[in-house]
Amino acid sequence: MKKEILALILLSFLTSCVTTRKSVTYHISTLENIRTFQPTKEESRIIDSLKSEAITSLEKCVKIHGAACIDDLELMGLHEANFKGGNAKFRERIFQNFKIPENAKKGENRFRVTIGKQDTIENVDILSYTDDDTKKEIERIFKLIELNAWVSAKVHRFPIKEEFEMSIFIDDKK
């Protein structure tokens, strides 16, 4: 009888340990606060020169061919940085590679990503984080080659820097 009671107490204890265990989940925000950097003075001179040449070329074409000319000046305007495969693919890659640390705390982990002129991530600034291990995990995933597949932002086909912010939200789920 004592063995049966002891077995029931032990079984009850083990069961309660399993049922109180929490699984932690997370979700990722979209790209927010997208901002392109202004070109340097030298880059602005080059861009202005390219734009001027395009306008001159279009005017010359219109004089010679009339309405049969293609005005592609708008196509040469601002083009935002783009992850190869699309920005949804970028978020998916983060989601697939991010491993929640065991002691992760609930809350928002916010970071700013700068895409440089060379089609690569130039910098990642962690703006806020819930705990040191989660911060280290965010730093780890941005060192992965598969997250560094970008096409830089461009103005008149001239590469410029762009930055955006994102968040990884850690949630509790019982």
Q: Where are the domains of the chain?
A: 23-38+79-173
pLDDT in tens, 91-139: 999 999 999 998 899 999 999 999 999 999 999 999 999 999 999 999 9
For residue 61, name the pLDDT band (cuts at 50, 70, 90).
Answer: confident
Name residue, tokens 């989940």: 25
Q: Which residue stretches of 78-173 are H helix?
A: 87-97, 132-141
Please determine, for residue 1, whether its predicted confidence score (pLDDT) is greater than 80. Answer: no
3-class state of residue 118 by DSSP: coil
Q: Report which DSSP code applies to 101.
A: -
For residue 17, name the pLDDT band (cuts at 50, 70, 90).
Answer: very low
pTM: 0.74
Length of the chain: 174
Name residue, tokens 């001239």: 158
Task: Kindly state the helix (H) or strand (E) to which residue 159 belongs, with its residue range.
Answer: strand 158-160
Least confident range from 51-55, 72-76, 107-111, 133-137: namely 72-76
What tokens appear for 146 in the block? 């598969």
What tokens appear for 95 in the block? 């989601």
Please determine, for residue 8, whether its predicted confidence score (pLDDT) is greater than 70. Answer: no
Name residue, tokens 């850690």: 170
In whole angstroms, give the CA distance from residue 4 to residue 64: 101
Q: Which residue stretches of the chain are H helix?
A: 2-19, 41-65, 87-97, 132-141
